[in-house]
Structure 1
Amino acid sequence: MDLDVFVAAHRAEWDRLDALLRRGGRRLSGEEADELVTLYQRTATHLSLVQSSAPDPALVARLTTLVARARSAVAGARTASWRDAGRFFAAGFPAAVYRSRHWWVSTALVCTLAIALIGWWIATNPDVQSAIVAPDALRELTRPGGEYEDYYSSNPAGSFAAQVWTNNAQAAAICLVLGVFLGIPVLFVLYQNVVNVGIGLGLMGSAGRADTFLGLILPHGLLELTAVFVAAGTGLRLGWTVIDPGPRSRRTALAEEGRAALGMALGLGAVLLVSGVIEAFVTPSPLPTWARIGIGLVAELAFLGYVFVIGRRAAEAGETGDVERLDRADRLPAAA
Structure 2
Amino acid sequence: MDLDAYVAVHRPEWFRLRYLVDQANRPRKMPSEELEELVELYQRVATQLSVIRSRSRDQAMVDDLSALVIRARAAVTGTADPGWHVVARYFTITFPAAVYARRWWAIATTVLCLLFALACALWVVYDQTAQARLVPSDEVAQLCRHDFASYYSENPAGSFASQIWTNNAWVSAQAIALGALLGVPTLVVLLENSLNLGVVGGYMSSCGESHQFFSLILPHGMLELTVVFVAGAVGLRLGWSIIAPGGRRRSEALAAEGRAAVSIAIGLAVALALSGVIEAFVTPSGLPTAIRIGIGVLAWGLFVAYIWIYGSRAASHGEKGDLEASLREDLAPVT
Give the direction of change, closer, same or farther, for the CA distance of 1:178–1:132 in structure 2 (3 Å limit).
Answer: same
Q: Does residue 140 of structure 1 match 2:160? A: no
Counterpart secondary structure, 2:278 = helix
Matches of 2:28 and 2:206, distance apart in 1: 74
CA RMSD of aligned residues (A): 2.4
Q: Does residue 263 of structure 1 match 2:263? A: yes
Give the number of the structure whose alpha-carbon radius of gyration is greater.
Answer: 1
Within a 5 Å distance, the mapping from 1:119-138 to structure 2 comes to 119-138=121-140
* Deviation at residue 275 of structure 1 after TM alignment: 0.4
* Deviation at residue 107 of structure 1 after TM alignment: 0.5
Task: Name the residue aligned to 2:202.
Answer: 202
Matches of 1:100 and 1:280, distance apart in 2: 30
Q: Matched residue pairs, number?
A: 263
Within a 5 Å distance, the mapping from 1:52-201 to structure 2 comes to 81-143=83-145, 146-201=146-201
Give the direction of change, closer, same or farther, for the CA distance of 1:79–1:242 in structure 2 (3 Å limit).
Answer: farther
* Deviation at residue 36 of structure 1 after TM alignment: 12
* Deviation at residue 35 of structure 1 after TM alignment: 10
Deviation per CA, 1:266-320, whole angstroms, max 9, x where unpaired? 0000000000000000000001111111100011111110111111111121111
Deviation per CA, 1:241-281, whole angstroms, max 9, x where unpaired? 00111122222222111101011110000000000000000
Of residues 223-232 and 117-126 in structure 1, the stretch that sits farther from structure 2 once superposed is 117-126
Give the direction of change, closer, same or farther, for the CA distance of 1:79–1:253 in structure 2 (3 Å limit).
Answer: farther
Task: Name the residue aligned to 1:308.
Answer: 308
Matches of 1:199 and 1:330, distance apart in 2: 46
Within a 5 Å distance, the mapping from 1:276-287 to structure 2 comes to 276-287=276-287
Matches of 1:282 and 1:299, distance apart in 2: 12
Q: Does residue 252 of structure 1 match 2:259? A: no
Counterpart secondary structure, 1:153 = coil
TM-score, normalisation: structure 2 = 0.74
Matches of 1:206 and 1:34, distance apart in 2: 75
> Letter of the aligned partner of 1:95 in structure 2?
A
Gaps of 5+ in 1: 1-23, 38-75, 332-336
Q: Does residue 227 of structure 1 match 2:227? A: yes
> Letter of the aligned partner of 1:210 in structure 2?
S
Gaps of 5+ in 2: 1-26, 36-77
Give the direction of change, closer, same or farther, for the CA distance of 1:25–1:242 in structure 2 (3 Å limit).
Answer: closer
* Deviation at residue 193 of structure 1 after TM alignment: 0.5
* Deviation at residue 80 of structure 1 after TM alignment: 8.7
Matches of 2:232 and 2:28, distance apart in 1: 46
Deviation per CA, 1:138-183, whole angstroms, max 9, x where unpaired? 111102xx10000000110011011111111011111211211100
> Letter of the aligned partner of 1:289 in structure 2?
T
Matches of 2:299 and 2:224, distance apart in 1: 10
Task: Name the residue aligned to 1:334.
Answer: none
Identity score, percent: 48
Give the direction of change, closer, same or farther, for the CA distance of 1:36–1:273 in structure 2 (3 Å limit).
Answer: closer
Counterpart secondary structure, 2:151 = helix
Matches of 2:147 and 2:32, distance apart in 1: 72
Task: Name the residue aligned to 1:70.
Answer: none
> Letter of the aligned partner of 2:159 in structure 1?
S
> Letter of the aligned partner of 1:131 in structure 2?
R
Deviation per CA, 1:203-242, whole angstroms, max 9, x where unpaired? 0010111121011001100000000010000110010000
Matches of 1:321 and 1:80, distance apart in 2: 20
Give the direction of change, closer, same or farther, for the CA distance of 1:110–1:273 in structure 2 (3 Å limit).
Answer: same
Give the direction of change, closer, same or farther, for the CA distance of 1:322–1:127 in structure 2 (3 Å limit).
Answer: same
